[in-house]
Amino acid sequence: MTRVALIAHDDEKPEMIDLVREYEDVLSPFDLVGTGTTGKRIMEETALDIERKQSGPLGGDTQIGAEVADDRMDAIVFLRDPLTAQPHEPDISALLRICDVHDVPMATTRTSAEYVLDGLAADGSE
């Protein structure tokens, strides 16, 4: 089953909710993982079930990175705030590095997320 992680900095959580609502039909057959607060918000505002890891400041992004290293993750959507990210929010550097090492796509903007999700949906329909 396709496994996708969903992570968002605080200011990007509304954008993540909007993206997930728009792509709910695409995401529904996937095995979804999220950091604590992002996963909770998605489950509260959609019908999707999310396996919640720790929140970002407590290492949820690191837990997701470990799944990438263990070849258990197909893609990551990490909507980040490049201008005003707060110190308590997950850092993208280590996660980006592990995704590059293991050739796992990571989308960091709404547009790139749409391309990744559309690609995963197309792969699943073949």
46 assigned ligand-binding residue: no
Query: What is the Cα–Cα distance from 115 to 6, expressed in whole angstroms?
Result: 15
Which residue(s) pair with 8 in the sheet?
79
55 assigned ligand-binding residue: yes
56 assigned ligand-binding residue: yes
Radius of gyration of the chain (CA): 13
Residue bearing tokens 């505002």: 45
38 assigned ligand-binding residue: yes
Select which of 11, 18, 61, 118 is catalytic: 61
State yes or no: is 61 an active-site residue. Answer: yes
The crossing angle, in degrees rounded to 10, of helices 92-101 and 60-69 is 10
108 assigned ligand-binding residue: no
CA angle at 44 for the pair 12 and 99, rounded to the nearest 5°: 45
* Token pair for 39: 């996963």
36 assigned ligand-binding residue: yes
* Token pair for 115: 């391309």
Annotated binding site for substrate: 9, 13, 35-38, 55-56, 88
Annotated binding site: 9, 13, 35-38, 55-56, 88
> What are the residue numbers of the active site?
61
